[in-house]
Chain A
Amino acid sequence: MFSKNLAMILSTTLMYSTPLIFTSLGGIFSENAGVVNIGLEGMMTIGAFAGAAAAVMTGNPWIAFLVAGIAGGIFALLHAIATIKFNADHVVSGIAINFLAPGFALFLCRRLFDGSTMTPPMQLTQKMPRPLNGIFAKGSFMDIVFNTYSTVYIAFALVFVTWFILYKTKLGLRIRAVGEHPKAADTLGINVYKMKYLCVILSGILAGFGGASMSLAIVSTFRPTLISGQGYIALAAVIFGKWKPQGAMLASLLFGASTGLVVFLGNPSVGFSVSENLLSMVPYLITLIVLVLFVGKGNGPAANGQIYEKGER
């Protein structure tokens, strides 16, 4: 029984960490290039909607997943234009995205699905597949933990890819240079604006994937409260993880584990009565404590959130 319970907790932890991992990787690209992206929340929401809507319409979860990334990317482009081209305050522009993207998601949802703010439930074939289905004995520990959605595997693979790009390639070095000291980067012939655009758009695509991993896998529909706050939590995971992909992954796993615990303990058959609400508070409290104890000042990219203007002294 214990191993089965543990398997259940691990499985929900992995599932609920996934949207946060995708989105926090987005945040890592954007912030390492010096653009604060508080709009991740909105980009996740539009991704969750676009994914669910495309899945119902096309019947293909992979097309839906891509559509979700594109939808997130479009709103990220808006953020990029405002912050990079028109010197907008990064936080303010992000707030605007957090009004715009959910607004568009619900508007389109009502237009496409007879005035409903929810997308119709998906068929099993329209959801993300489980690549390891049937490999392990049904109900075994391995089956419960690893017979999970492909989005989970993609997310963890992308953690490695992001780490590799940022720390082992020329492109990554350029991205980090732009976030640390754009002027110096510019002097060395790096196109600062191009790097920033690339990273911000990438962050929206990843946030869109994050939203879709919620609506195409964990829950098989889009509804207005589906994302509620996860984009902000992903942002906290970025800072918590000190702007590094592996750090953000661990932070996302921590948040996912607390959701996993809430889901597990909320099951009446477990017979454990601690308030679900108090338990839900834990990850936020831990984040605050960790920020107080370990993060403190000045760990992020030096020029993060600053407006860069070519040729300015």
Chain B
Amino acid sequence: MKKNKKIINDTLLYTLISIFLGLLVGAVVLAASGFSPIDGYAEMIKGIFGKPKYLAWTVVKSTPLILTGLSVAFAFRTGLFNIGAEGQFIVGALTATLVGYFVHVPAIIHIPLTLLSGCLAGAIWGGIAGILKSKFGVNEVISTIMLNWIAFYLSNYFIMMDGFKKPGTEASFNIQDTATIDIKWLKSLVGPATKVNWGIVIALILVVIISYLLYKTVLGFELRAVGFNKYAAEYAGINVNKSMVISMAIAGLLAGSAGAMHVMGVSHKITILAAQEGFGFDGIAVALIGNNTPIGAILGGFLFGALKYGGGKMQNIGAPTEVINIVIGSIIYFIAASRMVKIIIDKMRGGKADV
């Protein structure tokens, strides 16, 4: 890790160039299949910023991605790869729906109770992976992939239960109104169909808390030390095994909170899943784009939310909206292969110098 200040600044440059290259790949794919990339991206930008309603949707779509991105970024800072945000999101959503539906208390208790139970479920789910790694040496990439699928089937199992499944549907009952976090007055302003909710505010607060925890507390210092060099940290007297469990639990808590808030603010129920929805996997991309920093998770989350929501509008010109997944994949690819981007930059710089 021979990084100096200059390279850290370059990281942002590489990321921006990767985003640009990703959009370029998307443009080439669109052009190659007979669509105008300019029209396509124009539709996308209109679809994001065109109306207050669209902007509200972009924020709503970005919220869970900011949190799952934060979850992955946090784990990464502490030396762990959390592929399990998907499963942690699912158990968070499941638990929040159970608490939101079966418990009857006033909103002032019900909202925090629902949110915290979702967080706790996610923390346990992440913590399991942490324990498996610290106690038994099971690689967290594999264990979290397994836990994702266990969560997936667990959620489907619970939805099928009598008294929880809404008859005639493929979903649970809706949670009680006292457990929802919709912003009703804003809804009447930007359109009743939008799902504007307090989730984004809570997400931003969590980003601040995590930043503080990571960079201003002893615990955060220890966790980062383990992420930076496990052996040196151990030599310095840090309990590495305990750190791993704590950081996986916190990562799980964040992804679990995303699931809970998605239920409380957007879906109000959970539906039988045919395939994993990808909130957790998108979180990995968000974290990578944000260079695994908390602030980066906000920017990455918004970029992703915007691409996914606005990209859907490309169907207005008849283009398959899957082109957005190609764009996202390309961005991650270029970020992964940042050395490729560096070579491109150096060539461009070299070119300029010659002129």
Known contacts A107-B29, A228-B275, A288 near B146 by CB under 8 Å: yes
B228 interface contact, C-beta 8 A? no
B234 interface contact, C-beta 8 A? no
| Contact, CB under 8 Å: B332 / A92 | yes
| Contact, CB under 8 Å: B33 / A225 | no
B137 interface contact, C-beta 8 A? yes
| Contact, CB under 8 Å: A93 / B337 | yes
Main secondary structure of the interface of A (DSSP, over half): helix
Contacts of B136 in A (CB 8 A): 291-292, 296
| Contact, CB under 8 Å: A277 / B153 | yes
| Contact, CB under 8 Å: A110 / B320 | yes
Q: How far is the CA of A91 from the CA of B83 in the complex (A)?
A: 10
| Contact, CB under 8 Å: B274 / A95 | no
Taking a contact as CB atoms closer than 8 A, the residue among A89, A111, A284 that contacts B320 in the complex is: A111
Q: How far is the CA of A142 from the CA of B144 in the complex (A)?
A: 40
Contacts of B285 in A (CB 8 A): 95, 99
A297 interface contact, C-beta 8 A? yes
B111 interface contact, C-beta 8 A? no
B284 interface contact, C-beta 8 A? yes
Within 8 A of A (CB), among B300-355: 320, 322-326, 328-330, 332-333, 335-340
Contacts of A285 in B (CB 8 A): 146, 150
Contacts between the two chains (Cβ within 8 Å), count: 141
A96 interface contact, C-beta 8 A? yes
Taking a contact as CB atoms closer than 8 A, the residue among B33, B81, B281, B325 that contacts A103 in the complex is: B325
Taking a contact as CB atoms closer than 8 A, the residue among A85, A91, A99, A104 that contacts B328 in the complex is: A99
Interface centre among B29, B33, B138, B340 (most CB of A within 10 A): B138
Q: Smallest distance from the beta carbon of A91 to chain B beta carbons, Å?
A: 6
B288 interface contact, C-beta 8 A? yes
Q: Mark interface residues in A281-306 (1 if CB within 8 Å of B CB, else 0).
A: 10011011001100111100000000
Interface centre among A81, A107, A295, A296 (most CB of B within 10 A): A107
Q: How far is the CA of A100 from the CA of B153 in the complex (A)?
A: 26
Q: Please, how many residues of chain B have a CB less than 8 angstroms from a CB on the other chain?
A: 45
Known contacts A99-B285, A275-B160, A277-B156, A82 near B137 by CB under 8 Å: no
Q: How far is the CA of A93 from the CA of B339 in the complex (A)?
A: 13
Within 8 A of B (CB), among A203-230: 224-225, 228-229
Q: How far is the CA of A229 from the CA of B337 in the complex (A)?
A: 25
Contacts of B325 in A (CB 8 A): 99-100, 102-103, 106-107
Q: Mark interface residues in A77-90 (1 if CB within 8 Å of B CB, else 0).
A: 01001100111110
| Contact, CB under 8 Å: A239 / B139 | yes
| Contact, CB under 8 Å: B322 / A110 | yes
Q: Smallest distance from the beta carbon of A296 to chain B beta carbons, Å?
A: 5
Q: Smallest distance from the beta carbon of A261 to chain B beta carbons, Å?
A: 14
Q: How far is the CA of A92 from the CA of B286 in the complex (A)?
A: 12
Q: Mark interface residues in A106-121 (1 if CB within 8 Å of B CB, else 0).
A: 1100110001000000
Known contacts A38-B141, A235-B142, A292-B136, A86 near B150 by CB under 8 Å: no
| Contact, CB under 8 Å: A232 / B332 | no
| Contact, CB under 8 Å: A100 / B141 | no
Q: How far is the CA of A89 from the CA of B138 in the complex (A)?
A: 20
Which A residue's beta carbon lies closest to that of B315?
A115
Q: Smallest distance from the beta carbon of B336 to chain A beta carbons, Å?
A: 4
A246 interface contact, C-beta 8 A? no
| Contact, CB under 8 Å: B138 / A292 | yes
| Contact, CB under 8 Å: B137 / A297 | yes
B276 interface contact, C-beta 8 A? yes
Known contacts A107-B29, A284-B146, A278 near B153 by CB under 8 Å: yes
A98 interface contact, C-beta 8 A? yes
Q: Smallest distance from the beta carbon of B311 to chain A beta carbons, Å?
A: 11
* Interface residue ranges, A against B (CB under 8 Å): 38, 78, 81-82, 85-89, 91-93, 95-104, 106-107, 110-111, 115, 224-225, 228-229, 232-233, 235-236, 239, 275, 277-278, 280-281, 284-285, 287-288, 291-292, 295-298
* Interface residue ranges, B against A (CB under 8 Å): 29, 33, 81, 132, 136-139, 141-143, 145-147, 149-150, 153-154, 156-157, 160, 274-276, 281, 284-285, 288, 320, 322-326, 328-330, 332-333, 335-340
CB<8 Å pairs between A and B, sample of 15: A86-B338, A93-B336, A96-B330, A96-B333, A99-B326, A99-B328, A99-B329, A103-B322, A228-B274, A275-B157, A288-B143, A288-B146, A291-B138, A291-B143, A296-B136
- Contacts A92-B335, A98-B329 supplied; 12 other A-B pairs, CB < 8 Å: A86-B337, A88-B337, A93-B337, A95-B284, A96-B336, A103-B324, A229-B276, A280-B149, A281-B149, A284-B146, A291-B143, A296-B137
Per CB-CB distance, the 3 closest pairs between chain A and chain B, nearest first, are A99-B329, A103-B325, A100-B329
